[in-house]
Amino acid sequence: MHDQNEDIISYFKKLDRSFFMETHKEFAHMDEPIPIGYEQTISQPSLVLSMTLALHLQPEAKVLEIGTGSGFQTALLAAFSDAVYTIERIEPLYDRAKERLGKAGFANIHFKLDDGSIGWTEHAPYDRIMVTAAAGEIPSELIDQLAFDGKMIIPVGTSFLQELLLIEKEDDGKIHTKVLDDVRFVPLKGKYE
Ligand code: SAM
C-alpha cells in the first residue's frame, strides 16, 4: 500500500522554512519555534510534521486551520488535502502568509482575517481541524464543525504548558480524545483563552 506519510515527510524536508520568515532567517534550520513578530512564532519544524502526520490527511479532505501564522503549516496541509480554510487574527501576518502562499502557487487555500476560536461555520463541516495556538478548553464550536469520522489536533491547557490532543469524532458522533504530547504554544485568543 502507498504510504502517504513518506510523501509528507519527503515534501516537508524540501520545504524551505526561511521562505516563511521575514527576519531571523539564519535560524530557519533550527528545530525551534522562532519569533515572527507580534509576539507570535513560526512553529518548531518537528512539531509541525508530527501534528500533520497525526491528522492523517486525505487527498479529498477539507481542512480548517486556526492560526495561519507564517503559513508554514498551512503549506503542508494544503499540499496533502483538497482545500484548506485558514484563519489568522493578526492582519500583517494574514497579509504576508496570503501573499507568500499565493507566490508558492497554492490555489486551494482560503484565507480569513478573524477570531478563529469559534471556527468558520460557513464552510463546515471539516474533515480535519488543526489548531496551532493554545486553548484553555476545547472549543465546542470546533467539535460541532468537525465532520463525522473527522480528526482535530489542538493544544489545550494553561498558557505555560498544554497537552496536544487528538480528538476524533466517530461516524455516530461519539468523541474520543487522546493525549499525544506536552507542548507549549502561544495562546488562542478569544472565547477560549
Ligand atoms: N503554525 C504556524 C507557523 O508555523 O507559522 C504558527 C502559528 S502561531 C504558533 C499561532 C498563530 O495563531 C499566531 O499567528 C496567532 O496570531 C494565531 N491566533 C491566535 N489566536 C487566534 C484566533 N483566535 N484566531 C485566529 N488566529 C489566532
pLDDT over threshold 90, residue 80: yes
Over range 88-99, report the average pLDDT: 98
Q: Which of 10, 18, 43, 81 is catalytic?
A: 43
| pLDDT-derived band at 77, boundaries 50, 70, 90 | very high
Domains along the chain with CATH numbers: 4-183 (3.40.50.150)
Known active-site residue 50: no
Helix (H) / strand (E) containing 166: strand 162-169
Nearest CA to ligand 1 atom 11: 67
The C-alpha angle with vertex 48 and arms to 43 and 49, in degrees rounded to 5, equals: 150
Over range 95-104, report the average pLDDT: 98
Over range 25-29, report the average pLDDT: 96
Over range 83-109, report the average pLDDT: 98
Helix (H) / strand (E) containing 163: strand 162-169
pLDDT over threshold 60, residue 49: yes
Over range 24-30, report the average pLDDT: 96
pLDDT over threshold 80, residue 183: yes
| Mean of pLDDT over the chain | 96
pLDDT in tens, 109-135: 999 999 999 999 999 999 999 999 999
Residue 160, exposed/middle/buried by CB under 10 A (0-12, 13-18, 19+)?
exposed
Strands (E), 67-140: 83-88, 109-113, 126-131
pLDDT over threshold 60, residue 1: no
Bin 150: left if φ > 0, else alpha if -120 < ψ < 50, else beta: beta
pLDDT over threshold 60, residue 57: yes
User: For residue 48, which of 75, 82, 18, 79 has the smallest C-alpha distance?
Assistant: 75
Predicted pLDDT of residue 117: 96
Over range 67-84, report the average pLDDT: 98
| CB-defined site of ligand 1, < 6 Å | 40-43, 48, 66-67, 69-70, 72-73, 87-90, 93, 115-117, 132-133, 185-186, 188-190
Measured between alpha carbons, how far is 45 from 31 in angstroms, rounded to an integer?
6
pLDDT over threshold 70, residue 31: yes
Of the chain, the percentage scoring pLDDT greater than 90 comes to: 96
pLDDT over threshold 90, residue 61: yes
